[in-house]
């Protein structure tokens, strides 16, 4: 009976995007398919929101035998997927509508867009709940393929270039991830041949018996592989291109949750490796890549000219921070990293949406052409500003808390050099990012522009995210706290010293 309920839960969770994609293919009407997608996304959101309390109380849910496995860690990712998916679907309606109106896309494109969007959501939903790490890999690879299709939606030169780079780099990266996965599997069957050797549950169970050398090599492959997908430097190179060329809602999803999904995979293997050979090894690697990521992001943001590329680099920075938190370990580090995942997933789409609206209004992505947003579109301007301030870690917005925790844990774990470097980089990023942002938001527009927003449907998703940004800055719901706490316990291998 219980198993049936669980099976049903998972099935219902995965159903909306499948049905949505199907309906989109069948109906093909521009207006309707947008609403269908919104419905699908909101159904997912509602289910995930209902699922969270269950996870908090039951800790884990398994379904269809051992195929699906949901624990608190998965739930954190699911939450971010569903929230971002929902707001992105909302925003898509307005955004794609306007793109259609100004002739950038035609009906065929829109149908393809919504198909892709639904499938994209589906793949990202499966990643965190797949118990079989092979399936997880397959799904991560599938996200790449779907998102490549979404990026090259209009076949513009730059979009094709971005899609190509993304495809090649991500595929190469993910093949390394597969190598790593298979290595872990091999370690597992060498340790104890069991049926579910590829399953996460089985691996965790046997991890202590793994061969240390094998685990080390395997983790390197995993880190480089999924790290490529997660945007850790120096494998991040596809990211600014893909994020800047994709349609804005897709950029938001890419940045807000796709990176998280990939990083989720790293976390899973990090747990196994920690159990097997102790956390020092993987921590060290995570910290090194994190510091490089944050440093490169700082440098690139400083010189950035394109608004969306800047946001993309900011994603690199935040993935670095998440990796840093996991690497530092300890309750503060891991909790901070998970909180950072949530916070980033809330703040970054806000920024992408705002920048999308702004670039539609100004018909430009180059930051030098955008000035005085607050005069032209005051509401969007304020939302943009709040999102930006949140991203650079300004209180009273949400990222401040998670960054504070991560950096604290850095000192606590004795990583003084890394932490000091990161603090330096963060200050630089802060300066660089805000310099661009403030110049865009304030001042007088370069030419006379008609004052006006991009429409309610563009504002609402941003307003939702913005209120989350503010609320999470000063208050985190107890359910979420418990969830993240449980997830941190999973990562640290149970309990904190």
Partner 1 sequence: METIQFDVLTISGAILLIATFGIVATRGFMDWLNAYRYQSIVLSGITAIIGYVTGIWEIYIAAGLTLVIKSIIIPKVLTYVTRKLEIEFKLETNPYVSIRASVIISALLVALSYFLIQQIPFKSDQIVNAYLPVSMAQFFIGLFVLVNRRTVLSQVVGLLIIENGLFLFAMALTHGVSLLIEIGIFVDILVGILISSILLFRISRTFDSLDVGNLENLRDD
Partner 2 sequence: MFSNLVLFQISILIFLGGALVGLLLRNNRFTRHAIFGSAMLGSVFTIMFSIGVITGKPMTWMIPNVIPFFDLEIFVDGVAAFFLLIVGIVSFAVSAYSIGYSKEYQVKKRTMALGFLFNVFILSMVLVVASNNAFFFLLFWEVMSLTSFFLVIYDHDKEENIKSGMTYLVMTHLGTAFIFASFLLGYIQTGSFSFDSFRHGSTGFPLLVKNLVFIFALVGFGTKAGMVPLHVWLPKAHPSAPSNVSALMSAVMIKIGIYGMIRTIFDFSGFGTSPDFAWWGMLLIAFGSASAIIGVLYAVVERDIKRALAFSSIENIGIILIGLGLSVVFASFQLTAFAVLALVASMYHTINHAVFKGLLFMGAGSVVSVTHTKNIEHLGGLVKQMPWTALLFLIGAISISGLPPFNGFISEWFTMQSLLSSYQIPSTILQISIAFASLPFALTIGIATATFVKLFGMTFLSKARSKYAMNIKEVPRSMILGMSILAAICVLFGVVPYLGTSLISTAFHMHSQPSSPFDSMAIQNSSGTSFANLSMPVVVIMLSSVSIAIFGFIRVLSGNTKKTKYGTWDCGFGSLNERMEYTPTSLSQPIRAVFKVFFRPHNQTEKESFGENPYLLKTIKIETAIKNIFEDLLYTPIVSSFVFFFDKVRRLQTGKINAYLLYIMVTLVLLLLFVRLSNNA
CB under 8 Å to 254, separation ≥6 — which residues?
Answer: 147, 242, 243, 246
Please give the size of the binding site for partner 2, defined by CB under 8 A: 64
Q: Evaluate whether 80 touches 345 at the Cβ level (below 8 Å).
A: yes
Stretch that binds partner 2, among 5-13, 80-88, 132-140, 160-168 (CB under 8 A): 160-168
- How many whole angstroms separate alpha carbon 297 and alpha carbon 40? 35
Binding to partner 1 (CB under 8 A) within 23-62 occurs at none
- How many whole angstroms separate alpha carbon 256 and alpha carbon 14? 20
Sign for the pseudo-dihedral over CA of 434, 233, 466, 38: positive
CA triple 394-397-234, angle to 5 deg = 60
Stretch that binds partner 1, among 40-48, 127-135, 253-261, 323-331 (CB under 8 A): 127-135
Q: Which is nearer to partner 2, 443 or 493 (CB)?
A: 443
- 265-283 in b/e form (b: 16+ CB < 10 A) is bbbbbbbbbbbbbebebbb
The CB-of-186 to partner 1 minimum distance in angstroms stands at: 4
- How many whole angstroms separate alpha carbon 133 and alpha carbon 184? 10
**Residue 474 engages partner 2 in binding (rule: CB under 8 A):** yes
Binding to partner 2 (CB under 8 A) within 259-318 occurs at 285, 295-296, 298-300, 302-303
- How many whole angstroms separate alpha carbon 381 and alpha carbon 474? 22
Tokens 């920075």 found at? 317
> Residue 157 binds which one of partner 2, partner 1, none, with CB within 5 to 8 A depending on kind?
partner 1
Site string for partner 1, 246-285 (x = CB under 8 A): ----------------------------------------
Q: Where would I find the beta strands (DSSP E) of 302-428?
A: none
Radius of gyration of the chain, Cα coordinates, nearest whole angstrom: 21
CA distances from 412 to 226, 275, 333, 409, 486 (A): 28, 21, 9, 5, 21
**Cis peptide preceding 164, ω within 30 of 0:** no
Site string for partner 2, 388-427 (x = CB under 8 A): -x----xxx---xx--xx-xx--xx-------x--xx-xx
CA triple 340-341-345, angle to 5 deg = 110
> Residue 60 binds which one of partner 1, partner 2, none, with CB within 5 to 8 A depending on kind?
none
User: Which tokens belong to 160?
Assistant: 């094709």
The residue from 71, 241, 317, 403 that contacts partner 1 (CB under 8 A) is: 241
Length, in residues, of the chain: 497
The residue from 141, 153, 235, 488 that contacts partner 1 (CB under 8 A) is: 141
**Residue 293 engages partner 1 in binding (rule: CB under 8 A):** no
User: Which tokens belong to 340?
Assistant: 């950072």
- The Cβ of residue 442 has, within 10 Å, a number of other Cβ atoms equal to 14
The CB-of-296 to partner 1 minimum distance in angstroms stands at: 10
**Residue 191 engages partner 1 in binding (rule: CB under 8 A):** no
Q: Evaluate whether 8 touches 112 at the Cβ level (below 8 Å).
A: no
> Residue 475 binds which one of partner 2, partner 1, none, with CB within 5 to 8 A depending on kind?
partner 2
Give the distance, in angstroms, between the CA of residue 48 and the centroid of all CA atoms in the same chain: 17
Binding to partner 1 (CB under 8 A) within 421-450 occurs at none
Binding to partner 1 (CB under 8 A) within 294-353 occurs at 300, 303-304, 309
The CB-of-282 to partner 2 minimum distance in angstroms stands at: 11
The per-type count for the chain, helices as H runs and strands as E runs, is 20, 2
- How many whole angstroms separate alpha carbon 237 and alpha carbon 252? 18
Site string for partner 1, 142-171 (x = CB under 8 A): x-xx--xx--x--x-xx-xxxxxx-xx--x
Q: Which is nearer to partner 2, 109 or 485 (CB)?
A: 485
- How many whole angstroms separate alpha carbon 391 and alpha carbon 429? 10
Which residues lie across from 132 on neighbouring strands?
A: 199
> Residue 55 binds which one of partner 2, partner 1, none, with CB within 5 to 8 A depending on kind?
none
> Residue 423 binds which one of partner 2, partner 1, none, with CB within 5 to 8 A depending on kind?
partner 2
- How many whole angstroms separate alpha carbon 258 and alpha carbon 23? 24
CB under 8 Å to 178, separation ≥6 — which residues?
Answer: 137, 225
Please give the size of the binding site for partner 1, defined by CB under 8 A: 48
The residue from 97, 443, 445, 493 that contacts partner 2 (CB under 8 A) is: 443
Binding to partner 2 (CB under 8 A) within 181-240 occurs at 213, 216-217, 220-221, 223-224, 228, 234-235, 237-238, 240
Which residues lie across from 130 on neighbouring strands?
A: 68
Stretch that binds partner 2, among 91-99, 105-113, 163-171, 258-266 (CB under 8 A): 163-171
Tokens 């990176």 found at? 259
The CB-of-167 to partner 2 minimum distance in angstroms stands at: 10
Query: If you ran DSSP here, which 8-state letter would residue 63 be given?
Result: E
The three-state secondary structure class of 233 is coil
The CB-of-478 to partner 1 minimum distance in angstroms stands at: 39
The CB-of-119 to partner 2 minimum distance in angstroms stands at: 26
Q: Which residues in this chain contact partner 1 in the complex, by CB under 8 A?
A: 132, 134-135, 137-138, 141-142, 144-145, 148-149, 152, 155, 157-158, 160-165, 167-168, 171-172, 175-176, 178-179, 182-183, 185-186, 189-190, 198, 211, 213-214, 217, 240-241, 244-245, 300, 303-304, 309
Q: Which residues in this chain contact partner 2 in the complex, by CB under 8 A?
A: 164-165, 168-169, 172-173, 176, 213, 216-217, 220-221, 223-224, 228, 234-235, 237-238, 240, 285, 295-296, 298-300, 302-303, 332, 335, 374, 389, 394-396, 400-401, 404-405, 407-408, 411-412, 420, 423-424, 426-428, 430-431, 434-435, 438-439, 442-444, 474-476, 481, 484-485
């Amino acid at each position: 009976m219980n198993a049936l309920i669980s099976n049903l839960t998972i099935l219902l969770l995965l159903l909306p995007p499948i049905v949505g994609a199907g309906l989109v293919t069948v109906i093909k009407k521009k207006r309707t398919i947008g609403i269908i997608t919104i419905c699908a996304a909101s159904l997912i959101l509602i289910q995930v929101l209902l699922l969270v309390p269950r996870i908090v109380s039951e800790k884990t849910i398994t379904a269809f035998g051992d195929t699906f496995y949901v624990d608190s860690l998965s739930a954190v990712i699911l939450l971010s997927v569903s929230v971002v998916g929902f707001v992105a679907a909302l925003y898509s309606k307005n955004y794609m509508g306007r793109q259609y109106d100004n002739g950038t896309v035609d009906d065929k494109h829109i149908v393809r867009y919504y198909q892709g969007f639904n499938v994209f959501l589906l793949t990202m939903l499966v990643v965190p709940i797949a118990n079989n790490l092979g399936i997880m890999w397959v799904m991560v690879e599938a996200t790449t393929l779907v998102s490549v299709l979404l990026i090259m939606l209009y076949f513009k030169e730059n979009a094709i270039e971005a899609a190509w780079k993304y495809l090649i780099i991500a595929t190469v990266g993910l093949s390394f991830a597969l190598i790593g996965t298979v290595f872990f599997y091999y370690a597992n069957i060498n340790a104890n041949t069991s049926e579910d050797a590829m399953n996460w549950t089985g691996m965790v169970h046997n991890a202590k018996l793994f061969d240390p050398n094998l685990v080390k090599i395997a983790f390197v492959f995993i880190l480089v592989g999924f790290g490529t997908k997660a945007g850790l430097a120096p494998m991040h190179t596809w990211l600014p291109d893909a994020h800047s060329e994709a349609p804005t809602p897709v950029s938001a999803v890419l940045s807000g949750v796709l990176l998280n999904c990939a990083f989720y995979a790293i976390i899973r293997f990090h747990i196994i490796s920690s159990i097997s050979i102790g956390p020092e090894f993987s921590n060290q690697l995570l910290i090194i890549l994190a510091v490089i990521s944050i440093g490169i992001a700082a440098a690139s943001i400083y010189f950035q000219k394109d608004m969306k590329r800047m946001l993309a680099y900011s994603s690199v920075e935040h993935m670095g921070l998440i990796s840093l938190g996991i690497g530092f370990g300890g309750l503060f580090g891991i909790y901070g990293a998970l909180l950072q995942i949530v916070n980033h997933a809330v703040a970054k789409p806000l920024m992408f949406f705002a920048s999308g609206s702004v670039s539609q209004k100004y018909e430009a992505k180059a930051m030098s052409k955008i000035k005085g947003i607050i005069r032209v579109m005051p509401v969007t301007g304020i939302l943009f500003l709040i999102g930006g301030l949140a991203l650079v870690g300004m209180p009273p917005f949400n990222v401040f808390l998670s960054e504070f925790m991560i950096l604290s844990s850095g000192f606590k774990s004795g990583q003084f050099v890394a932490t000091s470097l990161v603090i330096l980089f963060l200050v630089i990023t802060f300066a660089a990012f805000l310099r661009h942002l403030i110049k865009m938001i304030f001042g007088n527009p370069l030419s006379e522009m008609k004052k006006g927003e991009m429409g309610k449907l563009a504002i609402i998703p941003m307003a939702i995210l913005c209120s989350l940004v503010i609320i999470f800055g000063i208050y985190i719901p107890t359910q979420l706290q418990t969830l993240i706490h449980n997830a941190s316990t999973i990562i640290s291998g149970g309990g904190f010293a």
